[in-house]
Amino acid sequence: MDLRLGRAALLVGLVALLPAPALAQKVWRHGIIEAKSDAGFFYMASKRDFAQRLGLKLEFVQLKTDSTELKAAIAGELDSYEGGPGGAIVADSRGADVKVIGCNWLVVPHGLFVRDAIKTVADLKGKSIAVSQPGSFPELVARSVLEKAAIPVGDVKFASMGSDTDRYKALAAGVVDGAIVSNEYTPIAAKSGVHELVPGSEAVPNFVRVCLHATGKVLKQRPDDAAKFLAAEMEALRYALAHRDETIRLTQELTGQKPDDPRAAFVYDWAMKAGAIGADLPIPMEKLEVVQKAALAVGSMTKPVDLATVVDPGIRAKALSLLAGQ
């Protein structure tokens, strides 16, 4: 009897010595757009132990569009998601409570790609351009391109298609004449009879591409976990910026690209040159204002919202404090 009690006491003592994350980790469900050639940056937090060290278990949920992610977050099926901030701004103008808590991709990598027979934007009159859902980021880019070229939107047809991959395949197959897609296709476009006509960074130079979002409800209920999530994301982005080869390999692993596929390396090097990655997850209010003005211009919202109510910088501040204390 005494021996059994001694063993039990020893077991209790050993369990007490285990680090808290090993005993129980809270789960954080994060929505993310399906992996493509920038996946090494976006998925790094889920592939290393940055969050685990903080006592948080990350579950990344792949979805086709950020519009779907937004709906899932509002429904309580996700704790956070990443995508264009325009959806959150529009949703808040309609009474939702979705917050931008940091932005990780600050420069637009998308552009207007067209069939080789198309030489100018004017050549697209009467033809079709693949975008995503009405009011989505790809449509905003397309409208901006047309506006700068003084081409009325009514002179072209917008074809609603889900992901970059869907739009590029439609363009390569000749189903559409133009498409708003990521510049990851630049290295392989010529093989499909396609080229980039207008870079997105030229059409919408002051847009921010990807931000992290969570509902006000989640942030009130789980502020510490939200800060840990952001801290893990910051560490992951810093790591990715410092480890080119590993980040490219992760992209290829996630997308199924072969080692000789040039897209992952192209996107990584372009992002570095363009300063596209916001490793400390800034909240660029001036760029969010540009996004809101674009949403107003296309009729996605009828009146502007106070952007100070759309952001929550406090979670980011907590995350930076966590990292500073490590």
Residue 64 has pLDDT above 60, yes or no: yes
What's the predicted TM-score (pTM) here? 0.86
DSSP-derived secondary structure letter, 34: P
What value does the mean pLDDT take over residues 230-258? 97
Residue 1 has pLDDT above 70, yes or no: no
Residue 140 has pLDDT above 90, yes or no: no
Q: What is the pLDDT of residues 286-306, one digit of tens each?
A: 999 999 998 898 888 999 999
Residue 11: the pLDDT is 36
Beta strands in the chain (DSSP E): 26-33, 56-63, 80-83, 98-105, 110-115, 128-131, 157-160, 178-182, 194-199, 210-215
Residue 134: the pLDDT is 79
Average per-residue pLDDT for the chain:
90
In order of their start, the domains of the chain are 19-107+208-325 (3.40.190.10), 110-203 (3.40.190.10)
Long-range contacts of 146-153 (CB under 8 A, 24+ apart): 146/121, 148/203, 149/120, 149/121, 149/122, 151/121, 151/122, 151/124, 151/125
Residue 24 binned pLDDT confidence (cut-offs 50, 70, 90): low
- Lowest mean pLDDT segment, chosen from 69-78, 93-102, 159-168, 245-254: 159-168
Residue 298: the pLDDT is 81
Q: 32 burial class (0-12, 13-18, 19+ CB within 10 angstroms)?
A: buried
Residue 13: the pLDDT is 41
More confident call, 169 vs 203: 169
β-bridge partners, 114: 178, 195
